[in-house]
């Protein structure tokens, strides 16, 4: 029931995030280098959107522009109708690796954005997110004592702790080994389903996109334009050997321009 209401509200009201005619041109040694061209995209509240595209196409640039770390050359990004002019604690960017602060413990990292809360609220919030990302027992450990997967969970916990509306994830599992990566996808889905945030997730992994996203946005090679937006009409948990899954994956491979056979 609650979910139906959310869906209805999502469909009728303005989108959570809207990119309009977004363009980014870099200046490389005095030469104009267009990276993004006329990107138009609406993302609904608590939607999970993946951005995929060939390497170097500008996926991360698009994410950085949406997160406010990069001013667009033309067009705009609006969140809740407001034009994005800079980074904001209401939307947190999770980096591929080395994003956690090595001089702080797990608790210190999770509590990093919570200095405005009272001590009691802060420790309660930290305890909650330690549990959410399953780092119990490591509260006082430093990142150097954690595995790569644990560090990424810690980064997600630090982001979630400030209660953001939107999480931007920039290939967050890209530096992990393939087994850990699969486990982390399950963890992220579990967190997303309980916490219900809007997630915009950059990946170069097609399987990752089909396993996670409500919609997959396919970007062309540079200058990136939106080539296709593919809706993944499968409920979670997704059977990754079902015909529908394989069909969607093949469709995505085709969109990116890859052959069916290696």
Partner 1 sequence: MNSLAHPRAWERYFWPVVAGALLLALWHYSVVWTGTKVFPSPLNVEKGIAELASKHVLWADIGDSLRRVAIGFGLAVVIGIPLGLWFGWNPAANQTVNPVIQLLRPISPIAWIPVAIIFFGVGDHAAIFLIFLGSLFPILVACVSGVSSVPPIFRDAGRNFGLSTRQLLARVVFPAALPQILIGARIALGIAWLVVVAAEMIAVDSGLGYLVIDSRNSGKRYDLVVAAMLIIGIIGLALDFCFRKLERIKSVRWGFRNAS
Q: Taking contact as CB under 8 A, which single stretch among the options 10-18, 91-99, 186-194, 229-237 is the one that binds partner 1?
A: 91-99
CB neighbours (10 Å) of residue 168?
Answer: 28
Structure tokens at 104: 């702080």
Query: Are 215 and 229 in contact, with CB atoms under 8 Å apart?
Result: yes
Q: Does 99 bind partner 1 (CB under 8 A)?
A: yes
Compute the chain's Rg from CA coordinates. 19
Q: Which is nearer to partner 1, 75 or 113 (CB)?
A: 113
Do 183 and 149 meet the contact criterion of CB atoms below 8 Å apart? Answer: yes
Among 102, 186, 237, 257, binds partner 1 (CB under 8 A): 102
Is there binding between residue 26 and partner 1 (CB under 8 A)?
A: no
* Closer residue to partner 1 (CB): 96 or 221: 96
Least distance (Å) from partner 1 to the CB of residue 171? 13
Q: Give min distance, CB of 223 to partner 1, in A.
A: 24
What contacts 24+ positions apart, CB below 8 Å, involve 112-118? 112/158, 113/89, 113/158, 113/161, 113/162, 114/161, 114/162
Site for partner 1 in 162-221 (CB under 8 A): 162
- The reply on whether position 80 binds partner 1 by CB under 8 A is no
Contact pick of 38, 75, 101, 139 for partner 1 (by CB under 8 A): 101
Output phi, psi for 21, to 5 deg.
Answer: 45, 40
67 contacts partner 1 (rule: CB under 8 A): yes
Concatenated DSSP letters for 186-200? HHHHHHHHHH--EEE
In eight-state DSSP terms, residue 14 is -
CB nearer to partner 1: give 103 or 260. Answer: 103
| Residues 111, 162 contacting (CB under 8 angstroms) | no
Nearer to partner 1, 82 or 247 (CB): 82
For partner 1 (CB under 8 A), the number of binding residues is: 21
Pick from 1, 2, 4, 103: which binds partner 1 (CB under 8 A)?
103
Binding mask of the shown chain, residues 226 to 255, with x at each position contacting partner 1 by CB under 8 A: ------------------------------
CB 26 within 8 A of CB 214: no
Q: DSSP 3-state assignment of 224?
A: strand
Tell me which residues touch partner 1 (CB under 8 A). Answer: 67, 69, 86-89, 92-93, 95, 98-99, 101-104, 112-113, 142-144, 162
């Amino acid at each position: 029931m609650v979910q139906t209401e959310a869906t209805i509200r999502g469909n009728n009201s303005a989108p959570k995030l809207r990119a309009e005619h977004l363009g980014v041109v870099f200046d490389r040694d005095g030469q104009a280098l267009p990276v993004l061209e006329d990107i138009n995209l609406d993302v609904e509240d608590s939607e999970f959107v993946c951005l995929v595209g060939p390497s170097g196409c500008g996926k991360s640039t698009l994410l950085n522009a949406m997160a406010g770390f990069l001013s667009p050359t033309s067009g705009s990004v609006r969140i809740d109708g407001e034009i994005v002019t800079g980074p904001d604690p209401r939307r947190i960017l999770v980096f591929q690796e080395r994003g956690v602060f090595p001089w702080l413990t797990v608790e210190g990292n999770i509590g990093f954005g919570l200095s405005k809360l009272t001590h009691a609220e802060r420790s309660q919030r930290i305890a909650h997110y330690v549990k959410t990302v399953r780092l119990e027992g490591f509260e006082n450990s430093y990142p150097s004592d954690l595995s790569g997967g644990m560090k990424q969970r810690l980064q997600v916990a630090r982001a979630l702790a400030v209660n953001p509306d939107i999480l931007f994830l920039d290939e967050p599992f890209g530096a992990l080994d393939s087994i850990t990566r699969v486990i982390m996808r399950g963890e992220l889905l579990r967190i997303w389903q309980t916490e219900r945030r809007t997630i915009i997730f950059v990946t170069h992994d097609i399987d990752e996109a089909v396993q996670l996203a409500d919609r997959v946005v396919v970007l062309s090679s540079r200058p990136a334009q939106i080539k296709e937006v593919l809706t993944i009409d499968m409920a979670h948990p997704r059977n990754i050997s079902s015909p529908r899954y394989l069909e969607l994956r093949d469709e995505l491979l085709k969109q990116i321009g890859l052959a069916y056979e290696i």
